[in-house]
Structure 1
Amino acid sequence: MRVLVILGSSSSSIATPSHHHHHHNKHSKAPFSKFSPFKPLLSSSSSLSSSPFSTVHSRSTPLSTVLWDSNKIHLCYLADLASKLARDGKLQDFVMVVESVVVSGVEASQFASALSVELVAKGISECLRDGKVRSVVDFLRKVDELGVPPLKLFDGSAMEFLGRECRRILKRGEVEELVELMEILAGFHFSIRELMKTSDVVKVCAQKSNPDMAVRYACILPHTHIVFCDIIYEFGKRGDLVSALTVYEASKKNLSHINMYLYRMAIDVCGLCGNYLKSRYIYEDMLNEKVTPNTYVLNSLMNVNANDLNYTFHVYKNMRNLGVRADMASYNILLKACCIAGRVDLAQEIYREVQHLESTGVLKLDVFTYSTIVKVLADAKLWQMALKVKEDMLSAGVTPNTITWSSLINACANAGLVEKAIQLFEEMLLAGCEPNTQCCNILLHACVEVCQYDRAFRLFQSWKGNKVEETFGKDDGGNTDSNSSAANACGRHLTSMPHFSSNIHNLYFAKGFSFTPTTTTYNTLMKACGTDYYHAKALMDEMKSVGLFPNQISWSILIDLCGASGNVEGTLQILNAMRADGVEADVVAYTTVIKVCVDSKDLKLAFSLFEEMKRYQIQPNLVTYDTLLRARSRYGSLHEVQQCLAVYQDMRKAGYKSNDYYLKQLIEEWCEGVIQDSIQSQEEFSPGNQSDTGSPQSMLLEKVAEHLLKHISESLAIDLRGLTKVEARIVVLAVLQMVKENYTTGHPVNDDMLIILGASKNDADLDKHKLEVKDAITRLLQDELGIEVRPMGYKVTLDKREDSENSVDLSSKLEDKLGRNQLQETKYSTRRPVVIQRLKVTRDSLKQWLQRKSAITR
C-alpha cells in the first residue's frame, strides 16, 4: 500500500490514495516502492548526496540490507516529521501521520519508539498551557485507537501541566468535568494519584453534596476501599449523613470483599451527625447479611450509642454471644456510658471486672479507664472514692494525665472542698503534669462558689504572670488586692477546711506553666466581682483586648450586676449592646432584665420584654414565668389579671408546673373587690380559708382564665362543674369583675348570664355538692350583690339508640357553647331526658347592678 505525503510551506496533509492511482508508479523498479510517497522528495532540487536516502544507492550493499535500512530511514523520517508537527501544536496533523503509517502496515509500537517524546510532550504542554485540555484528550483518544500508548507521549513537564489543568478545573468547582477527565486518563493508564490529591477531590465533592461523582472517582483509583472510607468521613464531617450513607451503599456494590473499616466508618459518621438510630440499622444489616462484626466495629457502635445505656449493654452482650473478644476500649466505652447515665453502681461493677481481668493478665488498664471512673465518681461528688482510684492508678504504674487530675480536682470542687482541690493542683504541678485551662477554670469556679473572691483573682493574676507563687494561702482577710472591695461588698465567706500540708501557704514553684484564659475564665471572674459592675465591665473589656469574645453568659452576668443597683435603663442598654456586638440574646439574658424590671416595679416594661421574647421565638424558662407571676402583690385591674393568667396558661402549655396557691390568693383578693361593705361575706369566704378547696388549684385558675380571657363580645356562660363553693364563688366574682370593668370602658351587656351547675335526671336529683354550690352562688348574687337569679333547667335527650334530629342539634349547640370535654358529665346511657341545671341572671338585672356600682363609684 502506498501513502502520499504532500508537504507545503505552512501545513502538512497526509492522504491515502486509492488503487487507480497506482499507474503513476507502475514502471518504477526502485526497492523503496513501499515508501513511494517520498519520491517527490527524491526528485526535488536538493542533491541526492544530501538526501536521507542517499545511502541506499551504494551498489556494494546487498539488496535485503538496502531494503531494511531504507525502511528504517523512512520510518525515522516520518517519526521526526510527526514529532515536529506535535511540537508546533499541530496535533491533528500528527494523528494523520500516525494513521498513514499504521495503514501502511508499520507496527504502531515501532513507530512510537521512533518518536521524539521531548518534542511531542512539548507540544502537548503548550496546548495544556493554553487551556486546550479537551483538544489534548481528543488527541490522546485518537492515538490510543491507532495503537500508540498515550502515556508514552508525556514527559515530566507535560505531566505537570496536565496536573495543573486538572487542579484548575477542580478549583472552578467543575467536579463532573474533572471526574470524566480522570476516568479517561485512567483508561490510558495514567497515575491518577500523582495528578491530583485524592483529598482535594473528595472535599469538593462533599462541598457540592455530590456523592455520585465521589463514587465514580473512587472507582478509578487502585485503593478504592480506602477512598470510600475517606469520602464517607468527609460527608459526615459536613453533617451530610444522607450523602455519606449513599456512598456507603454504593461501596458495598462496588467492592468485591467485606471491608470492616467501611462498616466502622459508616457507624462513626452516624455518631458524628448525631443520628445514632442509623448506626443501629447498619449493624442490623451486617447481621442480616451474615457478616460478623469485629471488635472495632462493635466498639464504634457502642460509642455512638453511649447515650443509651441499655442499648450499649445490649451490644456488649451480643459481642460476647458472637464470640468477639472485648478489648480495653470496649470497657472504657461502657464506663463512658455509665458516666453519661450517672450510674455509679454499674461503673464500679465494670471497674471491678476489669481489675480482675488485669490480675489474670487478660487486660491492662490504661489511663483512660482510670480517668473515666474518676469522672463518674467526681460527678457523683464521691471524692474519697475518686482519690482511692488515684491510688490504684499509681500502684498499677499508670501515670495520671491532665484529664485525670482535672477530674480529681473537680471531684473535690463539687463537694465544696476548695483546700483539697488546691492541694491536688499542687500535687499535679509537682508531678510534672501541666494543667490545662479547663483545670484552672475548675479551681477558679470552686473559689467563687464559696465566695473566696480574692483568692480567685490572686490565682488568675499569678497564672497570667506565668508563675505560681504564694497563691495558695488561705484568705484570712489580711490581704488586699484589686478586688477586695468586691469581696467585702458580697460579704467575705471563707471555708474553714483543715490544712492538708504544713507548708501549703509558702509553696513556691519556680517552674511556671502555660495558661491561656478562655471566655469561661473571664465569666467566672466576672461572677467574683460581687456587686462591682465597673470591675466586671473592665474584665469584659480585657477579654476583648486579648482576642476573646464575650458570650451570652458574659452579657447576662453584666446585666445582673448592673441591675443589682436598680439601673433598669442600664440593663436595657447592655441588652442592646449585646445585640450590636453580634450576640443573640437568650432566655437567660431576657430573664435577667425582666427580673431587674420587676425588682424596680416597672411591670409594664417587664411584660413588654416577655412579649418581645415570644416575638423572637425565645422560649421562656421556669424562672421567667415565676418572675412574672410573682411580679405583683395585688391586682388592680382586669388587664393585669388577664396578663398574668395568659402567662400562667403559657407556662402550663410549656410543660412547667407552677405554684398555683400564690396566684389563686391574688385572684381571690381581686374578685372580692366586687363586693363592698360586706364584712360578713369577707369572714365567711376569706381567701385564706382553704377548708373547702378539695379540687386542684390549677383547675380553678384554668376556669378563671377560660372566662377572663374571652373576648368581651362573647356570650356570658359560666361553667362551675367540678368546683367547690368557694372556687365557684371566685369564678363568678371574676366574671362579674370583668363585666364591671368592661362596662366602665363603654362595653354594654348584650346577653343574659348563664351559670351551669351540672347535669341531673330531674330537678330533685341534684346531689349535696351541687346544692351547696347552687345555694352559695344564689346567696352571693341575691343577698350580697342584689342581682336577681332565676333557677332553670335545660332538658336534652342523649339516647344512643334514638338519634333524632332535635337531640343531635341540641347536643351540637351544647358542645359549641361548653366544649366537648365539658359535656362528658351530661352523657347518660338512658332513654330518659337529662336536665342541665343552670342559674340565669338576666341582662336587665346585670345592667341595674352595674348602674348602681357606677353611681357608688361616682
Structure 2
Amino acid sequence: MRVLVILCSSSSSITNPPKPSTTPSHHHKQFKPSSSHSSKLSPTKLPSSPTPSPFSILHSRSAPLSTVRWDTKKTHVSYLANIASKLVRDGKLQDFAMLVESVVVSGVEPTQFTAELSVDLIAKGISGFLRDGKGRRSVIEVLRKVDELGVPPLKLFDGSAMELLVKECRRILKCGEVEEFVELMEILAGFHFPINEVMKTSDVIKICARKSNPNMAIRYACLLPHANIIFCDIIYEFGKRGDLASALTVYEASKKNLSSTNMYIYRTAIDVCGSCGDYLKSRHIYEDMIKEKVTPNTYVLNSLMNVNAHDLNYTFHVYKNMQKLRVKADMASYNILLKACCIAGRVDLAQEIYREVQELESSGVLKLDVFTYSTIVKVLADAKLWQMALEVKKDMLSAGVTPNTITWSSLINACANAGLVEKAIQLFEEMLLAGCEPNSQCCNILLHACVEACQYDRAFRLFQAWKGNKAEKTFGKDDKGNINGNSSAANACGRRVTSMSHFSSNLHNLYYSKGFVFTPTTTTYNTLMKACGTDYYRAKVLMDEMKTVGLFPNQISWSILIDLCGGSGNVEGALQILRSMRADGVEPDVVAYTTVIKVCVECKDLKLAFSLFEEMKRYQIQPNLVTYNTLLRARSRYGSLHEVQQCLAVYQDMRRAGYKSNDYYLKQLIEEWCEGVTQDNNQNQGELSPCIKTDSGRPQSLLLEKVAEHLLKRIAESLAIDLRGLTKVEARIVVLAVLQMVKENYSLGHPVKEDMLIILGTSKINAEIDKRKLEVKDAITKLLQDELGLEVRPMGSKIALDKHIDKENSVDLSPKSKDKLARNGLANEYKHSTRRPVVIQRLRVTGESLNHWLQRRSAIRQ
C-alpha cells in the first residue's frame, strides 16, 4: 500500500471511494469497482458509507492528510482517473490539477493515469471553458501544471475540443490581439500542439503586417517548421504594404535565427527594397553579403540589377561583378540589361547586348524568349526606329518565337510614334489574324496615334467598331453588306473616302470574324476627349459615358475638359469645372491648375490667374515649369509696381524650386518699366537711353535678383541700393526700378523721409579702383544728376573687413591704413584675423531733392 494524498476540494458530484476490505463491515453491501466499469461509476450506484470521504477529510482541519490511504492497483487508478475526468467535466480545473498532482506524488506512472482518463469527459469540460471565451487562461494554467507533472496536455484534447481551441485562437487574432495570440501559440508549441494547423500562416502574417508589428511576426515564425520560407513571406507582406523598415527588421532577425544562408531571403529583401522605392537599401544588402563572404546566386544578382535598372552604370557594375564571381548569367540577366538600356534610352548599347545574346543562342548557350524580343522592340520603338523594330519581329518569327500582346503593342507603338497611322493599323490587323487578342493598352496606343495625326473621326470609328454591337449603327451597311462610313464622317476625316472604305471592310472582316473583348479604360476616354477638338459638349458627353460604364474620370480627364472649355474663352466655365473636380472627389493637380491659369492668361484675366497661383500654394501643390512660364509671360508690359512685384515673386519662387528660367523676356519688360522714370524728363518720349542695351552673353539672373531684392522690400525700410557686382547697364536698371517704386509709393501718400544711399562697390586698400567701378559711378551720377535732376553727393569711403578673403589673399597694410584701422577700432581684429579690410565706395541722393523731383513729376501728370 502506498499513501495517496487527495488535494481536491469537496464536490457533491464526486462519490465516496470504495472502502478497502480490511475496514470494519457496515450495515449495507460493500461495492467493489472493477477496471472495466470504473469510468462509468455514478453517485446513485455507490453505497452509502458512514466513513467520511477523502474530500471531507481534506477540508477537515483536524484530519491529517496521512490518514487517507489508497491502493495503487489498476482498479483504484481507474477510479481516480474517473474522478479526475468528472472534475474537468464539471469545470473544476483547479481541483483536477490538484488531484493529478496527488496521483503523481503517490507514485502512479503519469502514462498509466493518462490512459485511464475519460477523454470524452475531459474534452467536454475543456470545451465548456473555451466556449464562453473566459476560461482560456484557466485551461492554459491547468495544461501547464499537468505538463510539469509529466501528463501530456495534448492527450486531454479530442477533435471537438481542438476545434474550439482553434476557434478561440482565431477569435483572438480577428480582434487584432496579435501579442496575446503569439503568446498563446508559444505556450501551445511548448505543449507540442501542431500550431501550424491552428491558423493559416498567411492570415497571421497579414494581420502582423497590418498592425506594423514585425516583432510578433518574427516570434511566430520561429515557432513553425520551415521558418526560412515563413521569413520570406513576412518580408514580402511588409514590403507589399510599403513598410520597408519592418521588412528590414524581419530580414535582420532572419539572419540571426536561421542556421544556414538562405538566398531566397536575400532576394526577397532586395525585391522589397525595389517595390518600396529605396534602391539604396538593396545595395547595402548586397554589400553586406559581400562583407560576410556570401557568394550570391544568379537570382539574387538578377533582383539587384532589376531594382537598380534605372541606374545603367550600377546595373552594368553588378553584371561585371557577376562575371568576377563566376556566377552564370541566364536569359533573365540579359533581359534586365536590355530593360536598363530601354530606361536610359541607350539604343546602341541595347543593340550590342542583343547581338551578344544572339551569338549565345547560336552556340546553344541561351535561348531568346519573347521578353527579350519585346524589350528590344520597345527600345527601338521609343527611339522611333520602327524599321529596325520590324526587323526584330522577323528575327523573332524565324526563331520560332510567337509574338505576344506586349510585342505587338510595342511594334504598333513604334509606328505610332513615327506618325505612321496606316502602318500601325496594318500591324493591328496582323495581330488579330495571328490570333493574338489585343489588350486595352494596345487599343489605346492606336487611338492615340490617330489623335496625334489629327484623324479624330478615325479614332471614333475604331472605338465604335471595338465596342462590337454598336459598330453597325455607327458605320451602316452598303448594298453588299459591308460597313461603310457616312459622308459627314468622311468629310470630317479630310475626305479620305477611299482609304476609309478599305478600312471599314477590314473592320467588318476582322472585328466580327476575329472579334475580341474590348474593355475601355479611363485612358481610352481621355484619348477620345482629346479627339473632340474644340467640341466641349461632346467631351462632356464622353465623360458622362465614362461614369455610366463604371469608370471614374481622373485628373487628366478633368484637365482636358477644362482646356476644351477654356478654348472657347469661357473662363467662368473653366473655373467652375475646377471647382466641380474637387466636389467630385478628385483633387486638382498642377496640370489642372496650370490649364485654368493658361485660360485666364489667354483671356487677359491676370488677376484671377495670379489668385489661382496663390491658391495652388495654399493647397501645397508645387507649380511646374509650365506654370511659371505661363505667369511670367502673362504680360507684354508692366503698368504698376504691384505687377512687377508679382512677377518678380513668381520668378524668385521659380528659382528656389530649382527651375532654370529664361530671364531675357522678364528683363526686357523690367527695363521698359524702369525707363518710364526718365520719359518725363526726355523730350523724345518714345526714345530710350542707349545705355539700356544689355551686355551680350551675360546671365541676367544677378540683375533680376537685385531688382527683386529691392522691389520686394517694405516701404518703411531704408532706401539703400547695392550695385556691387553689376555692370553700368544693370546698375542703371536697378536704380531706375527703385525710383519707380519710390514714385508709386509717393502717389499713394508715402513721402521720402531720408536720403537714398547707393553702394557702388568695394576696392582693396592701396589698390586702384578698377575701370568698371568708375564706369558704374559715372553712369549712375549722370543718370541722377543730368537726366533726373537729383542732387548727388559723394560720401567718404567706409572701411570694413571682407569675411570671404582667406589668409593667402591678405596683403600688408601701409602705416596710414593701419592708423585708419586703429581709429575705427579694427587694429586688433585685423592683427589676429586673416580677413582683409576693404573700402566701400558710396553715393548719397538727398531726400530733399528726391521730394522736389517727386513733386515735379506729380505736377506734370496733373
- What is the one-letter code of the residue matched to 2:172? I
Aligned to 2:124: 122
Q: 1:38 to 1:180 in 2, by over 3 A?
A: farther
Aligned to 1:29: none
Aligned to 1:511: 514
| Secondary structure of residue in 2 paired with 1:718 | strand
Work out which of the residue numbers 763, 786, 808 in structure 2 matches 1:783: 786
Work out which of the residue numbers 825, 839, 844 in structure 2 matches 1:840: 844
Instruction: Say if 2:454 is the partner of 1:451.
Output: yes
Aligned equivalents of 1:506, 1:763: Cα separation in 2: 93
Conserved? CA contact 2:485–2:504, under 8 Å:
no
Aligned to 2:349: 346
| Secondary structure of residue in 2 paired with 1:140 | helix
Instruction: Say if 2:174 is the partner of 1:160.
Output: no
Aligned-pair RMSD on alpha carbons?
A: 3.5
Aligned equivalents of 2:509, 2:746: Cα separation in 1: 79
What pairs up with 1:6-45 in 2 under 5 angstroms? 10-12=12-14
Residue 39 of structure 1 and its aligned partner are, at CA, apart by 6.3
What pairs up with 1:769-808 in 2 under 5 angstroms? 769-796=772-799, 807=821
Residue 835 of structure 1 and its aligned partner are, at CA, apart by 4.8
Aligned equivalents of 2:819, 2:267: Cα separation in 1: 67
Q: 1:784 to 1:165 in 2, by over 3 A?
A: same
| Secondary structure of residue in 1 paired with 2:668 | helix
Conserved? CA contact 1:749–1:847, under 8 Å:
yes
Aligned equivalents of 1:42, 1:525: Cα separation in 2: 107
Q: 1:273 to 1:472 in 2, by over 3 A?
A: farther
Conserved? CA contact 1:377–1:383, under 8 Å:
yes
**Cα deviation digits, residues 693-719 of structure 1 (max 9, x gap):** 563333332222222122222222223
| Secondary structure of residue in 2 paired with 1:141 | helix
Q: 1:773 to 1:288 in 2, by over 3 A?
A: closer
**Cα deviation digits, residues 42-96 of structure 1 (max 9, x gap):** 967653477549999xxxxxxxxxxx99933222222223222222222233333
Instruction: Say if 2:680 is the partner of 1:676.
Output: yes
| Secondary structure of residue in 2 paired with 1:754 | strand
Aligned to 2:3: 2
| Secondary structure of residue in 1 paired with 2:761 | strand
| Secondary structure of residue in 2 paired with 1:786 | coil
Aligned to 2:179: 176
Aligned to 1:60: none
Work out which of the residue numbers 343, 358, 361 in structure 1 matches 2:361: 358
Conserved? CA contact 1:763–1:793, under 8 Å:
no
- What is the one-letter code of the residue matched to 1:387? L
Conserved? CA contact 1:472–1:505, under 8 Å:
no
- What is the one-letter code of the residue matched to 1:249? E
Aligned equivalents of 1:138, 1:41: Cα separation in 2: 39
Residue 471 of structure 1 and its aligned partner are, at CA, apart by 9.9
Residue 226 of structure 1 and its aligned partner are, at CA, apart by 1.0
Instruction: Say if 2:249 is the partner of 1:226.
Output: no
Aligned to 2:103: 101
Aligned to 1:535: 538
**Cα deviation digits, residues 640-662 of structure 1 (max 9, x gap):** 11111111222222222223222
Aligned-residue identity in percent: 76
Work out which of the residue numbers 695, 718, 729 in structure 2 matches 1:726: 729
Aligned equivalents of 1:591, 1:598: Cα separation in 2: 10
Aligned to 1:661: 664
- What is the one-letter code of the residue matched to 1:587? V
- What is the one-letter code of the residue matched to 1:528? A
Instruction: Say if 2:439 is the partner of 1:436.
Output: yes
Aligned equivalents of 1:149, 1:326: Cα separation in 2: 54
| Secondary structure of residue in 2 paired with 1:357 | helix
Conserved? CA contact 1:48–1:54, under 8 Å:
no
- What is the one-letter code of the residue matched to 1:89? G
Q: 1:181 to 1:40 in 2, by over 3 A?
A: farther
Residue 846 of structure 1 and its aligned partner are, at CA, apart by 0.8
Aligned to 1:261: 264
Conserved? CA contact 2:681–2:787, under 8 Å:
no
Aligned equivalents of 2:428, 2:26: Cα separation in 1: 99
Q: 1:42 to 1:683 in 2, by over 3 A?
A: farther
Work out which of the residue numbers 81, 89, 92 in structure 1 matches 2:91: 89
Aligned to 2:144: 141
Aligned equivalents of 1:170, 1:614: Cα separation in 2: 45
**Cα deviation digits, residues 593-620 of structure 1 (max 9, x gap):** 1111111111111111111111222111
Conserved? CA contact 2:416–2:446, under 8 Å:
yes
Residue 638 of structure 1 and its aligned partner are, at CA, apart by 1.1
Aligned to 1:62: none
Aligned equivalents of 1:606, 1:164: Cα separation in 2: 63
Q: Any unmatched runs of 5+ in structure 2?
A: 39-69, 477-483, 802-809, 827-832
What pairs up with 1:60-99 in 2 under 5 angstroms? 71-99=73-101
Conserved? CA contact 1:469–1:507, under 8 Å:
no
Conserved? CA contact 2:350–2:376, under 8 Å:
yes
Aligned to 1:64: none
Q: 1:557 to 1:444 in 2, by over 3 A?
A: same
- What is the one-letter code of the residue matched to 1:123? G
Number of residues paired by the alignment? Answer: 802
Aligned equivalents of 1:517, 1:629: Cα separation in 2: 40
- What is the one-letter code of the residue matched to 2:123? A
| Secondary structure of residue in 1 paired with 2:73 | helix
More displaced 10-residue stretch of structure 1: 433-442 or 272-281? 272-281
**Cα deviation digits, residues 2-49 of structure 1 (max 9, x gap):** 3366996625499xxxxxxxxxxxxxxxxxxxx986569996765347
Q: 1:605 to 1:714 in 2, by over 3 A?
A: same
Aligned to 1:715: 718
Work out which of the residue numbers 408, 411, 427 in structure 2 matches 1:408: 411
Instruction: Say if 2:744 is the partner of 1:741.
Output: yes
Residue 591 of structure 1 and its aligned partner are, at CA, apart by 0.8
**Cα deviation digits, residues 666-690 of structure 1 (max 9, x gap):** 2222222222262458546158x63
More displaced 10-residue stretch of structure 1: 692-701 or 149-158? 692-701
Residue 664 of structure 1 and its aligned partner are, at CA, apart by 2.1
Instruction: Say if 2:854 is the partner of 1:850.
Output: yes
Aligned to 1:603: 606
Work out which of the residue numbers 302, 305, 311 in structure 2 matches 1:299: 302
Conserved? CA contact 1:13–1:93, under 8 Å:
no
Residue 146 of structure 1 and its aligned partner are, at CA, apart by 2.0
| Secondary structure of residue in 1 paired with 2:458 | helix
Aligned equivalents of 1:141, 1:213: Cα separation in 2: 22
Aligned equivalents of 1:54, 1:604: Cα separation in 2: 102
- What is the one-letter code of the residue matched to 2:29? S
**Cα deviation digits, residues 312-359 of structure 1 (max 9, x gap):** 111111111111111111111111111111111111111111111111
Instruction: Say if 2:647 is the partner of 1:644.
Output: yes
**Cα deviation digits, residues 155-208 of structure 1 (max 9, x gap):** 111111110000011111111111111111111111111111111111122122
Residue 271 of structure 1 and its aligned partner are, at CA, apart by 1.3
Residue 133 of structure 1 and its aligned partner are, at CA, apart by 1.1
Work out which of the residue numbers 29, 32, 57 in structure 2 matches 1:47: 29
Aligned equivalents of 1:166, 1:383: Cα separation in 2: 61
Aligned to 2:66: none
Aligned equivalents of 2:548, 2:37: Cα separation in 1: 88
Residue 720 of structure 1 and its aligned partner are, at CA, apart by 3.1
Aligned to 2:243: 240
Aligned to 1:586: 589
Residue 400 of structure 1 and its aligned partner are, at CA, apart by 0.8
**Cα deviation digits, residues 353-372 of structure 1 (max 9, x gap):** 11111111111111111111
- What is the one-letter code of the residue matched to 1:636? G
- What is the one-letter code of the residue matched to 2:113? F
TM-score by length of 1: 0.86
Aligned equivalents of 1:795, 1:3: Cα separation in 2: 110
Conserved? CA contact 1:757–1:770, under 8 Å:
yes
Aligned equivalents of 2:72, 2:767: Cα separation in 1: 135
Residue 508 of structure 1 and its aligned partner are, at CA, apart by 3.5
Conserved? CA contact 2:475–2:485, under 8 Å:
no
Q: 1:793 to 1:378 in 2, by over 3 A?
A: same
Work out which of the residue numbers 398, 421, 425 in structure 2 matches 1:395: 398
- What is the one-letter code of the residue matched to 2:462? L
Q: 1:469 to 1:636 in 2, by over 3 A?
A: same
Residue 763 of structure 1 and its aligned partner are, at CA, apart by 12
Q: 1:760 to 1:198 in 2, by over 3 A?
A: closer
- What is the one-letter code of the residue matched to 2:249? T
